[in-house]
Structure 1
Amino acid sequence: MKKVTGIGGVFFKCKDPKKMTEWYHKHLGLETNPYGATFEWYEGADSTKKAQTQWTPFAEDTKYFEPSTKDFMINYRVENLEELVKELQKEGVTIVDKMETYDYGKFIHILDEEGNKVQLWEAID
């Protein structure tokens, strides 16, 4: 079973997310939006399978990364999230919350071996 297919996003804490987003736009040319920046790319040689990776700064006091105490969280793109969650549960991996479904995909959070919160995303591209 194929598990991770790519990086879906990089999220980090900072003192002022708006100023951080503006800095990256001004100095590194990121095309920013209210959520940070979105990088579009194609999966492999098939130019019809567009995908994206999200870059998002969060306020340093955000609770979104809890129960992890780390200042970052990585989102991994996956295939067949429901089956993957069943497999992870059998392997004793900590599942933080319930799967949520939106018009752009399914999400769930897990903890890795060192307590880093990891977001898993089955995208609807």
Structure 2
Amino acid sequence: MNKTILTLSVAILLVSCNSKTEKTNDMTEKKDQTEKPASKVDSTPKVTGVGGIFFYSENLEETQKWYEENLGIEMNDWGSSSFDSRDMDNPEQINSLQWKPFKKGDEYFSPSKKEFMINYQVQNIEGLVKKLKENGVTILDSLETYDYGKFIHILDKEGNKIELWEPI
């Protein structure tokens, strides 16, 4: 089933790329005028995408089985599913959105009392943390670095726990 999703994704990507190539060939002069200079890299501390969607489940195994059987979402060794995509501004860069149900009552969402948590992919996480502190945002832990990125957790104004992630 995962191969079907991958094949469909590749087909969509190829059609999209072909469409963009045709438009680009027709508008070469405009393209040259609108491209960002390679030396100018945006390092503004900000969210650049959604990195994960996490939610509680009353019966984790049944929920995972339901999503796999009905929607073709296969679980990896971590009990989540990865949805990969390409960065439009940097096509060599592969982005990954993690989708994961958690057993209801798991403490990973604490201190939030909500049934969900969103992970946002960010750039310049150190700069963003500095900005958040200056703005009085509740920072729940310290910046942690792993093989797959840097993480920190915050609370929004309504008490929703948010996970910030900068890929390495």
TMscore range, shorter length: over 0.9
2:155 is matched with which residue?
A: 111
Kindly report which structure 2 residues correspond to 1:1-125, keeping only aligned pairs within 5 A, or say none: 1-34=44-77, 35-124=79-168
More strand by share: 1
What is the Cα-based RMSD across aligned positions, in Å? 1.1
Contact 2:45 2:125 in 1 (8 A): no
Mapped to 2, the partners of 1:16 and 1:33 lie a distance apart of: 18
Mapped to 1, the partners of 2:142 and 2:89 lie a distance apart of: 34
Deviation at 1:47, TM superposition (A): 2.4
Q: 1:21-45 deviations in whole A, cap 9, x for unaligned?
A: 1111110011321322000000115
Mapped to 2, the partners of 1:22 and 1:36 lie a distance apart of: 12
Contact 2:83 2:97 in 1 (8 A): yes
Whichever of the two has the greater Rg, that structure is 2
* Structure 1 unaligned blocks of 5 or more: none
Ranked by relative contact order (alpha carbons within 8 Å, sequence separation 6 or more), the top structure is 1
Give structure 1 regions of 4+ aligned residues with deviation exceeding 4 angstroms: none
More helix by share: 2
* Structure 2 unaligned blocks of 5 or more: 1-43
Percent of residue pairs bearing the same amino acid type: 50
